[in-house]
């Protein structure tokens, strides 16, 4: 029997990434198209330093990759299936919980 640890670790990494609204937004932007950090910072309206920290987290979680382009770096989802997973997760949550709100919506702990 296979140990569920790798499956659990993957879900924990995905959950960690989704635990922050900025990382959620980053993943949704990158779902549409790869982008450079300056463009991502502008699109999200955050500083490049703050963006860098969130991109590092997403890289550590294995969800995005940095692709060197000369002197610049482009970021993209590590696997196209992640975009589909984000869409599926969003649709499932909206379908199941259409009439519910997050009890912690006033805290940073809830997307």
For residue 38, being part of any structural domain is answered with yes
For residue 78, being part of any structural domain is answered with yes
Question: What is the count of structural domains for the chain?
Answer: 1
Each residue of 44-57: pLDDT tens digit? 999 999 999 999 99
Q: What's the pTM?
A: 0.79
Q: What is the torsion angle, in degrees rounded to the nearest 10, for the CA atoms of residue 96, residue 55, residue 41 and residue 76?
A: -80
For residue 3, being part of any structural domain is answered with no
For residue 103, being part of any structural domain is answered with no
Q: Facing residues of 75 across strands?
A: 35, 66
Identify which has the larger pLDDT, 21 or 109.
21
For residue 7, being part of any structural domain is answered with no
Proportion of the chain above pLDDT 70, given as a percent: 85
Each residue of 76-99: pLDDT tens digit? 999 999 999 999 988 888 888 776
For residue 102, being part of any structural domain is answered with no
* Tokens 């879900």 found at: 11
- CATH for 41: 1.10.10.10
Print the domain residue range for 24.
13-96
For residue 22, being part of any structural domain is answered with yes
| Cβ–Cβ < 8 Å for 31, 77 | yes
Q: Is the pLDDT of residue 6 over 90?
A: no
Coil/strand/helix, residue 38? helix
């Amino acid at each position: 029997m296979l140990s569920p640890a790798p499956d659990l670790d993957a879900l924990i990494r995905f959950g960690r990434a989704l635990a922050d609204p900025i990382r959620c937004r980053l993943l949704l932007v990158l779902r549409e198209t790869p982008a450079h950090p300056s463009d991502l910072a502008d699109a999200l309206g955050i500083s490049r330093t703050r963006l860098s920290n969130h991109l590092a987290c997403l890289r550590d979680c294995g969800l995005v990759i940095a692709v060197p382009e000369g002197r610049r770096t482009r970021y993209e989802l590590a696997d196209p299936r992640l975009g589909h997973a984000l869409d599926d997760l969003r649709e499932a949550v909206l379908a199941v919980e259409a009439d519910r709100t997050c009890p912690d919506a006033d805290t940073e702990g809830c997307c």
